[in-house]
Copies of this chain bind each other. A is one copy, B any other.
Amino acid sequence: MSTTDRSLAPDRTDWTTVRSDFPFLERRIDGQPVIYLDSANTSQKPRQVIDAMSTFMATGYAPINRSAYRMAGEATDAYENARRAVARFVNAPSADEIIFTKNATESINLVATAWGRQNLGEGDVVVLTHMEHHANIVPWHMLAAERGIELRWVPLTADGQLDLTDLDRLLDGAKMFSFTAMSNVLGTLPPVEHLCTAAHAAGAVAFVDACQFVPHNATDVQAWGADLVAFSSHKMCGPSGIGLLWGRMELLDSMPPFIGGGNMIDDVRLDGFTTAPVPAKYEAGTPPIVEAIGLGAAVEYLEAIGMDEVRRHEMELTRYALDTLVGRYGHDITIHGPTNLEVRGGVLSFAFRDIHPHDVSQVLDERNICVRAGHHCAKPLMRLLGANATARASFYLYNTTDDVDALADALDGATDIFGL
């Protein structure tokens, strides 16, 4: 579907109502509303999620998978329902393929450690891209230090897309291709399906860091043809303290465990142990029970709105923001990343005149505008951009064009102070 088609479709969603679901956005500081433009970092939570968690803690909290009384059974069912909801949300073939971790970072470490230790030795190749988040770099560095694997990097084009010219050569002989489905700095949406196909053609496992993608787009892990996909609850209206890993059962089944302890075992003796079936095998210890309930509520919340709607809304906001900021500030603002909205999500990293991003963010904060200034946990990418920081405004379903206007207005203030 092209952008134009989408804009012509009637706007089914009342975004003002959506916004009013988020109590945080009703907060006033010095009488002024808070304008939250840091959702690529972590998202706000709708009342529905907050209430689901409080209600569960107040009336239904009980252990999972351990005790046999009804309340424990009900809590376990609620926990497993959340797993089913997540599976449905990303179109996983089976709920048992969804692993609850603590965050996407743990999901990626799980794969790098469990799969990596089993399958990678001296000289084996893992391919990453220049736009990865530290979460999809450091675990591989750790593995490289431990067992001498080689890391190769897919470079970027001038407008911040993956430069795939040499992809086949890079993938040649690789055992793993791990890449982001959306850059948290540039907003770039790489061609995931194509990359998975290329990985498989080279005999590599295709691992997708979908942290930034899943919260903002309809996700279909099967259509992607991916082998493993990591994402996080806290960026998709769900609570902190829980992350996700989806993987093909065959792979999850064959990998050794990552964290050992209760719940992930079949039997434990003084001289060894055997593991429980997936997903329990990867969920050692007391899991994020309350968090799973919250995440389930978040998924239902997003499903009710529809992820295509969310994407369309964010595309419109992004177009409006690009038009407004460039229209107003021309060459005084540099917005990184692709301008074609088909391949970019609602993340705007920018440089404003010669003012340091940290100072930009300070001036915006004066008007309660929350943007992130820094390296966005992507230092290798920042070096490529020739900056050690950018300011980043990122949108979500609760943002409006008013927020964009407020951002544009507030930038003027920076000029006043720094007189540049």
Contact = CB atoms under 8 A, between A and B. Distances in A.
B67 A273 contact: no
Counting contact residues on chain A (CB < 8 A from B), the size range is 35 or more
A362 B70 CA distance: 9
Interface in A41-57: 41-42, 44-45, 47, 49-51, 53-54, 57
A279 interface: no
Contacts of A136: 261
A383 B178 CA distance: 44
Interface stretch (A284-292, A319-327, A399-407): A284-292
Contacts of A62: 38, 42, 370
Interface in A221-248: 232, 234, 239-243
A328 interface: no
Contacts of A105: 259-262, 284-286
Which one of A51, A144, A241, A287 has the greatest number of beta carbons of chain B within 10 Å?
Answer: A241
A71 B370 contact: yes
A259 B134 contact: no
Contacts of A47: 58
A138 B41 contact: no
Interface in A71-124: 71-72, 101-106, 108-109, 112
Contact of A68 (B112, B243, B361): B361
Given A139-B261, A241-B290, 17 more contacts: A23-B57, A24-B58, A24-B61, A41-B67, A51-B54, A67-B361, A68-B358, A69-B369, A134-B261, A134-B265, A136-B261, A138-B260, A138-B268, A138-B273, A232-B285, A234-B286, A241-B242
28 contacts: A23-B58, A38-B62, A38-B69, A42-B289, A47-B58, A62-B370, A67-B374, A68-B365, A68-B374, A69-B369, A70-B365, A72-B370, A102-B288, A103-B287, A104-B285, A105-B284, A106-B284, A108-B261, A133-B262, A134-B273, A141-B260, A141-B268, A144-B272, A153-B270, A240-B286, A240-B287, A241-B241, A262-B377
